[in-house]
Amino acid sequence: MARKPTKPEKIRLTEVAKLAGVSPITASRFFRTPEALSAGKRVRVESAARELGYVPNLAARALASQRTEVIGVLIPSLTNNVFSDVLRGIYDALDGSRYSIQLANTRYSILLEERLLRLFLAQKPAGLIVTGINQTADSRKIMEAVDCPIVQIMEIGPSPVDMMIGFSHFDASKAAISHLLEQGYRRIGFLGARMDPRVQRRLDGYQAAMTEAGLFDQRLIVTTAVPTSVTLGGTLFADLLSKAPEIEAVFCVNDDLALGAMFECKRRHMPVPDQMAIIGFNDLEFVSSSVPPLSSVRTNRYEMGRNAGTMVIEALEGRRPAQPVVDLGFSVIARQSSVRKP
Amino acid sequence: MARKPTKPEKIRLTEVAKLAGVSPITASRFFRTPEALSAGKRVRVESAARELGYVPNLAARALASQRTEVIGVLIPSLTNNVFSDVLRGIYDALDGSRYSIQLANTRYSILLEERLLRLFLAQKPAGLIVTGINQTADSRKIMEAVDCPIVQIMEIGPSPVDMMIGFSHFDASKAAISHLLEQGYRRIGFLGARMDPRVQRRLDGYQAAMTEAGLFDQRLIVTTAVPTSVTLGGTLFADLLSKAPEIEAVFCVNDDLALGAMFECKRRHMPVPDQMAIIGFNDLEFVSSSVPPLSSVRTNRYEMGRNAGTMVIEALEGRRPAQPVVDLGFSVIARQSSVRKP
DNA sequence: TTGTACGCGTTATCAT
DNA sequence: ATGATAACGCGTACAA
């Protein structure tokens, strides 16, 4: 024998329809396209649903319709403030829409990313937001085969899987160095942590700028695979100073490192910027109120997330963007920490 | 007419079963209880699934089994570092398990929380992790009616919906003030932002400690509903100074405010701790490397998330914790910013 | 605008 | 250990 039939207490669409005096499919339509119902039935279904406390069964809906209203989001870190801003943007964009978010943490591993991607696809997501442009070959194949909008965020590159929104980390980094060069600094150090693909591109930008200026010197670069932190900024800066005591300025791949470097300067009674100029990256909230205020490169993280969310929704509604790749740019914010006094 | 029958290309359990020469239900068992299969069939199903690239349909699974393997997580903020640590703990705890996470952002609104809760329940989650103990009456009713493990995190209180893990914000705050009192500070200010329930309880703790010491003075308290930030810490501290210029120490409800206050001291050439002692809350990474190092109250956020995740899983496996309420405690970390020199 | 008929892909239940 | 059958609750396709 098979399983017992549904107990009559359970409140399904059928129960709502019965109470409203309509067929189940009409009740179903009420929840999806209420405007397709006559006013009378609309009211009756609505009150019936309310009276019974009807809760739609999303699994049944997904099975029947072969899709869900879940947008999968793959990011490499939950701790990094950079991603929390992006996430907030995504959540805000999807707020009020019918879509919900499923978030996964790739931990900066493209292999784990691939596994999570497969996991997502088992749920037939309505859309996908993934971080960066360095996926495994298999991930790329999978994404190309999937029939849903996909936005790659944080970076831009030549061949989007579908859509893309971000900025050039290479250019942004180069611009930061240009700023320091314009201020007259010549011996400019580089501090990098984690060294994920985006940080790597910032290093490339640094190298390009320094080489163009005829100032490149491998000794000025200190990097580590260790995750970033303020404390680490101090440590790396100390390393840099011991390797190259003559440096006049330092570019940190993020603001945490920059703050750490600044604290280290303070411990060494090394005035900023008089004896050491510092510029960070991301323009987090705190940099403007530190003493001295820290220069940084502003990136539009919230907007990135917000736009990514919007792009997915619009694509789902059939309105694909004219431009699949959106460059949100950046701006170098020069504050006291990197500005030569007259 | 109804819909067309499934196209033969689609790879379902049926296709796998056919290739393996077993019935669909046997193939189904392979994915759920492989040990219940004979070794031969187990191997055949496995290779058939691999060969066909079978991807299980989670919607069908959820519909048939009436449950999912999704754990819903409700937190008030994505930006606040405090929650990213907790989240990381939850993700780590669930990593490698069959469960995935669905994250929702309540934006510090218990009304929105209630809506999101209802939304989650439509998906029949395997478990639920919610923030705090201040839910709406309806939310509480809903949670009590739901048949899945629920963990309330961040706080502890007398009547858990199901399980609870956190610490007493009241006691932690009181301990911070006790530390300042022990150091000999008497005029101790309070800086608070956001004023969510947990921050409110920290204020209560401050008030209790000060009252017990016979030092309570409403003028020493500066609060705002505005979200916290380093910059805000500076502003609030300036407010406090103008209201009560005689203060010797300040307790900030989080480390961002504390850092902002410290920067403001620096701008005013007010040495810390000689002229102004500062203690923060949460013991974020940066406090130990600032100059001077900032005192703070360490809370075990990662462990909280990690344990919450584990508690849900264990409960799902039938092993409910002996104690439904877990107090993770806290510790006052006294650093230079609040220690009187001898 | 509304309804009919059936399929979505899996698992629960019972039987062998 | 394995299989037959029906049921999970809803949406699609088409007809009226």
Q: What is the 3-state secondary structure (H, E, C) of A11-46?
A: CCHHHHHHHHCCCHHHHHHHHHCHHHCCHHHHHHHH
Contacts of B300 (CB under 8 A, 6+ apart): B167, B328, B329, B330
Report the top-level CATH class of A66-167+301-328. Answer: alpha beta
Which of chain D's bases lie under 7 Å from a protein CB?
1-15
Does the pLDDT at position B2 exceed 90? no
Output DSSP code: residue A274: T
Between A56, A58, A263, which is nearest B289 by CB? A263
Q: What is the pLDDT of residue A36?
A: 86
User: Within an 8 Å CB–CB cutoff, is residue B302 touching chain A?
Assistant: no
Does the pLDDT at position A1 exceed 70? no
Q: What is the pLDDT of residue A119?
A: 86
Between B88, B119, B263, which is nearest A291 by CB? B263
Q: Rounded distance, CA B162 to CA B145, Å? A: 11
- CB hemisphere CA count around B94 (13 angstroms): 27
Mean pLDDT of chain B: 94
Size of interface A-B (CB pairs under 8 A): 117
Q: What is the mean pLDDT of residues A193-197?
A: 97
Cα distances (angstroms) measured from residue B54 to each of A104, A127, B26, B51? 22, 21, 15, 8
**CA-CA-CA-CA torsion sign (B256, B258, B259, B263):** positive
If one compares B35 and B7, the residue with the highest pLDDT of the two is B35
Q: What is the mean pLDDT of residues B260-284?
A: 98
If one compares B105 and B175, the residue with the highest pLDDT of the two is B175
Residue A255, both tokens: 């603001």
Of the pLDDT bands very low, low, confident and very high (cuts 50, 70, 90), residue B3 is low
Cα distances (angstroms) measured from residue B72 to each of A99, A112, A121, A230, B131? 15, 22, 19, 32, 11
Of the pLDDT bands very low, low, confident and very high (cuts 50, 70, 90), residue A8 is low
Instruction: Quickly name the fold that domain A169-298 has.
Output: Rossmann fold (3.40.50)
Per-residue model confidence as pLDDT tens digits over A128-184: 999 999 999 999 999 998 889 999 999 999 999 999 999 999 999 999 999 999 999
Of the pLDDT bands very low, low, confident and very high (cuts 50, 70, 90), residue A6 is low
Contacts of A97 (CB under 8 A, 6+ apart): A313
Of the pLDDT bands very low, low, confident and very high (cuts 50, 70, 90), residue A303 is very high
End-to-end CA distance of chain B: 90
Q: What is the pLDDT of residue B1?
A: 47
Of the pLDDT bands very low, low, confident and very high (cuts 50, 70, 90), residue B308 is very high
**CA-CA-CA-CA torsion sign (B305, B85, B336, B252):** negative
The whole-number Å distance from A145's CA to D7's C1' is 33
- Identify all chain A residues contacting B91, using CB atoms and an 8 Å cutoff: 78, 105
Q: Where are the domains of chain B?
A: 8-56, 66-167+301-328, 169-298
Q: What is the mean pLDDT of residues A104-131?
A: 92
Which range among A288-302, B49-63, B210-224 shows the weakest confidence by mean pLDDT? Answer: B49-63
* Second-level CATH architecture of A8-56: Orthogonal Bundle (1.10)
**H or E stretch including B30?**
helix B24-32
Does the pLDDT at position A126 exceed 70? yes
Per-residue model confidence as pLDDT tens digits over A11-49: 899 889 989 999 889 999 998 888 888 888 899 999 999
Between A57, A119, A286, which is nearest B230 by CB? A286
Tell me if domain B66-167+301-328 and domain B169-298 are identical in fold: yes
Q: What is the pLDDT of residue A2?
A: 57
Please return the burial class of A159, using the count of CB atoms within 10 Å of its CB with bins 0-12, 13-18 and 19+.
exposed
Q: What is the pTM of this model?
A: 0.93
Q: What is the pLDDT of residue B207?
A: 98
Mean pLDDT of chain A: 94
Q: What is the mean pLDDT of residues B183-188?
A: 98
Q: What is the mean pLDDT of residues A58-84?
A: 91
Closest CA–CA distance from residue A123 to any residue of chain B (Å) = 6
User: Within an 8 Å CB–CB cutoff, is residue B111 touching chain A?
Assistant: no
Q: For tokens 């299969």, name the residue.
A: B37
User: Within an 8 Å CB–CB cutoff, is residue B336 touching chain A?
Assistant: no
Q: What is the mean pLDDT of residues B56-84?
A: 91
